[in-house]
A and B are shown apart, each in its own frame.
Chain A
Amino acid sequence: MASMRDIKRRKNSIQSTQQITKAMKLVATAKLQKAKVQAVKTRPYFHKMHGTITSILAQSGQVNHKYLDDREGKHNTYIVVTSNRGLAGGYNNNVCKMVVNHREEGEDASVIAVGRKGRDLLKRRGFNIIESYNEMVDMPEYGDAAKIGTEVLKRYVSGEIDHVYIAYTAFESTLNQEAKLIKLLPLDLDDFAEEKPDEEHLESGINYEPSVEEVLDSIIPQYVNSIIFGALKESIASEHGARMTAMDSATSNASDMIDKLTLQYNRARQASITQELSEIVGGAEALK
């Protein structure tokens, strides 16, 4: 059995760890509240955007457009949204796992990393990191999303990459976040066909100014940016949610361990007292 001193030292160390995890949980909770509100605020923009594109595509049927054709190539790029800091449970790992599992044999995969953890993890897995943005993770702004979007579109249009995916963590609730991987480019017509467009649009022919192509030219980049922006916002909320949950369970695990160690410590103390007593009694007996 470990000595009393060892047990005591261990207990103290766990106690100070517990203080840290408790503090981190509080901080994450506070940040989560803010991030949650912001994530929710981006949704109306995204939904309206999605609705409009759906109705345009439903209307115009099979338009040939550079953002819509599916190319054969194997150059895939993943935009991976993770955090800069760890201690958030499985948050970063889940996102990276999605990407690793999605990679196929013979695919030429490259990564645009948003967040330091994802960059490091995927680099170790042998992905080619073409770009990494780390500063924007904590307070994403629309301009940041637009920067990534422009970069991706430029590479896509130039033919350097054939498919673009984005991996992020969707914020479902404080306790539940889900890693997701969605296809960004080319736009998948089937994704839009599932939803029924507004009837109002279908019966009345819509006009486009200047023209369908030019409207799509301008709307699709905005759509891409809005997905990236939404993903950034959802991810930061998820990060805080994941960290809060992780730190909460760390704190309660620490409590359990402290309880167990306290019990052990008391037993060891009792044992040593008993031993001392029996030694004294034994010594006294021997003197008789």
Chain B
Amino acid sequence: MATNKIELHIVTPDREFFTAEVDALSFKTTEGFIGVLYDHIPLITTLTSGKAVFKNDKDTFEAVLHNGFAEIGEEKVTILTDAAEWADEIDMDRALSARQRAEKKLEEMTHHDEKHKEEVVIQAQASLLRALARIEIAQARQDK
């Protein structure tokens, strides 16, 4: 088994977030969660905000990735993402208040004029998704 490792690169605009060899990984695409093992079919797919898990031997790493895309090859996976955070980097309070703000914005939608409505909704939904993904993974970590 030891030879069948996937070379994983996760890159964000401001840093090379994670570079390692892993046995398996899973992350959330716009079509739903996807799991990748060695010798996966080549695939390019787009990401949405959500949990990502990397497994290497007995270690498990959890992180949140926000948008971007992944290029999956047989033995190499490259994920380019707008932002990435490890579970322990997440600021729970900030995520909670971001969720509140986004929910409030969506509720108040009716007051906005039609022209900007769509834009505001998209923005609020995106930040809600980000907040939810952060909260989910931070919660799971706390419960452990």
Contacts and interface: CB of A to CB of B under 8 A. Distances in A.
Contacts of B83: 142
B120 interface: no
B125 interface: no
A57 to B, nearest CB: 12
B115 interface: no
Nearest to A208: B44
B78 A48 contact: yes
A210 B41 contact: no
Contacts of A260: none
A207 B41 contact: yes
Q: Chain A's interface: helix, strand, loop or mixed, by majority?
A: helix
B9 to A, nearest CB: 7
Contacts of B80: 45, 48-49, 52, 222
A222 B69 contact: yes
Interface in B12-36: 12-16, 29-31
Interface residues of B, number: 26
A193 interface: no
Contact of B46 (A200, A218, A229): A218
Interface string A45-84: 1001100100110000000000000000000000000000
A210 B30 contact: yes
B44 A215 contact: yes
Interface residues of A, number: 29
Contacts, number: 76
A102 B69 CA distance: 34
B44 A229 contact: no
Contact of A207 (B12, B30, B44): B44
Contact of A48 (B9, B14, B45): B9
A145 B74 CA distance: 33
A56 B42 contact: no
Given A209-B29, A210-B31, A219 B78 contact: no
25 contacts: A42-B13, A45-B13, A45-B80, A48-B78, A52-B71, A52-B78, A142-B12, A142-B82, A145-B13, A204-B42, A205-B42, A206-B44, A207-B42, A208-B43, A209-B30, A209-B43, A209-B45, A210-B31, A210-B45, A215-B69, A218-B46, A222-B67, A222-B68, A222-B69, A222-B80
Interface of B: 9, 11-16, 29-31, 41-46, 67-69, 71, 73-74, 78, 80, 82-83
- Ranked nearest first, the 6 interchain pairs of A and B with the lowest CB-CB distance are A209-B45, A142-B13, A206-B42, A218-B46, A207-B43, A45-B11
